[in-house]
Structure 1
Amino acid sequence: MNHNYVQKNDWHQADIIAALRKRGTTLAAVSREAGLSSSTLANTLSRPWPKGEWIIANYLGIHPSEIWPSRYFDMNGQLIERKARNQTEIIFTKS
Structure 2
Amino acid sequence: MSKSKTHSKTEDWSQNEVLFAVKNRGSNLSKLAEANGYDNRRALYVVFYRKNAPTAQKIIADFLELKPEEIWPSRYQSLTVKYTSPAVRPHVRVA
Q: Same fold (TM over 0.5)?
A: yes
Out of 33, 36, 61, the position equivalent to 1:34 is 36
**Residue 8 of structure 1: CA displacement?**
2.0
List structure 1 runs of 4+ shifted beyond 4 angstroms.
none
- After TM superposition, the structure 1 = structure 2 runs for residues 26-65 of structure 1, keeping only pairs within 5 Å, are 26-36=28-38, 37-48=40-51, 49-65=53-69
> Under a length normalisation based on structure 2, what TM-score does the superposition of the two structures give?
0.70
Identity in percent: 32
Tell me the SS of whatever aligns to 1:11: coil
Match of 2:5 in 1: none
Separation of aligned partners in 2, 1:58 and 1:45: 17
Q: Give the letter for the 1:43 counterpart.
A: V
**Residue 68 of structure 1: CA displacement?**
0.4
Separation of aligned partners in 2, 1:57 and 1:26: 13
Kindly report the root-mean-square deviation, in angstroms, between the aligned alpha carbons of the 2 structures.
Answer: 1.6
Gaps of 5+ in 1: 1-5, 81-95
Bigger relative contact order, structure 1 or 2 (CA pairs below 8 A, ≥6 apart)? 1
After superposition, what is the alpha-carbon deviation per residue over 1:8-42, rounded to whole angstroms, capped at 9, x for unaligned? 21000000000000000011100110111210000
Separation of aligned partners in 1, 2:32 and 2:9: 29
Q: Give the letter for the 2:42 counterpart.
A: S
Q: Which 10-residue stretch deviates more, 55-64 or 45-54?
A: 45-54
